[in-house]
Amino acid sequence: MTRQELINLIRLKQSFLCIGLDTDLGKIPRHLTSLEDPIFEFNKAIIDATIDLAVAYKPNLAFYECYGVKGWESLTRTIDYINTTYPGQAFTIADAKRGDIGNTSQQYARAMFDKPSSGLEFDAVTVAPYMGEDSVKPFLSYPSKWIIVLALTSNKGAEDFQFFKSLDTRLFEQVLIKSKSWGSEENMMYVVGATKAEMLADIRKIVPDHFLLVPGVGAQGGSLQEVVKYGMTKDCGLLVNSSRNIIYASNGTDFAIKAREEAGRMQKEMHYLISAI
């Protein structure tokens, strides 16, 4: 999906909602656990219930890899379902946080983007920039695919390193300054946590036009209004992720209905905020 196609999708759905498919067998409704592939069936129901409200879906790979081959099969079926049942209707993100030396990153990129090789074909993958340019560039060798660079995260431990200052430049700012030369607004986004929403103003001074993937709204306490106030651009420029608040809105047989209600509440608020651009 190109940048313009993503912008068009946001305008069409009046939404910049990304739903995190962090599917945990211990949390999904009990009536699904007897099925052959409960993770996929749960994901499918969530997707079907929210496809007109969300512009992106973001499986966190840890929630699939922990189940070995079966988990990988569930992930593959989920992405294939989105791509074949709803082509062009959702941007898919592999929340993998990969980052290693060049040869290894090439293989990670194959795993996320090369369907004949791995069975997966995501639109984007999250990457850790700590090892520098040669650990990130291999992901950019795939046309029309995106990387999403970790810049300023929403977890408490972000304080340990990301705010380290040298010559008046904080580490997360140095990540932005250096990495924006590796790609462009057409194939690179940044992760910026909603719990650090006030920092978005500083981030926009460095990357005024890049899309930002913003986790932390909802269960982690981030404010959608604050994110929009400091981070929205004329093209929206935001994908705001919500996981637990939506997918675990109910643990009963009505889980998909309740997920839709919560996604609908967020989309309605997003529609109002987009209309003000």
- Whether the pLDDT of residue 221 is over 70: the answer is no
Residue with the larger pLDDT of the pair 124 and 276: 124
Residues near 272 by beta carbon (within 8 Å), at least 6 away in sequence: none
| pTM metric for this prediction | 0.94
Confidence of residue 220 (pLDDT cuts 50, 70, 90): low
Phi, psi of 162 (to 5 degrees): -65, -20
- Give the pLDDT confidence score for residue 84 in this predicted structure: 97
Can you give the residue ranges of every domain in the chain? 3-275
Residues near 90 by beta carbon (within 8 Å), at least 6 away in sequence: 9, 47, 51, 54, 55, 56, 57, 82
- Give the pLDDT confidence score for residue 159 in this predicted structure: 73
- Give the pLDDT confidence score for residue 22 in this predicted structure: 96
Instruction: Decide: residue 275, CB within 10 A, 0-12 exposed, 13-18 middle, 19+ buried.
Output: exposed
- Give the pLDDT confidence score for residue 144 in this predicted structure: 87
- Whether the pLDDT of residue 258 is over 90: the answer is yes
The CATH architecture of the domain made up of 3-275 is Alpha-Beta Barrel (3.20)
Residues that are catalytic: 97
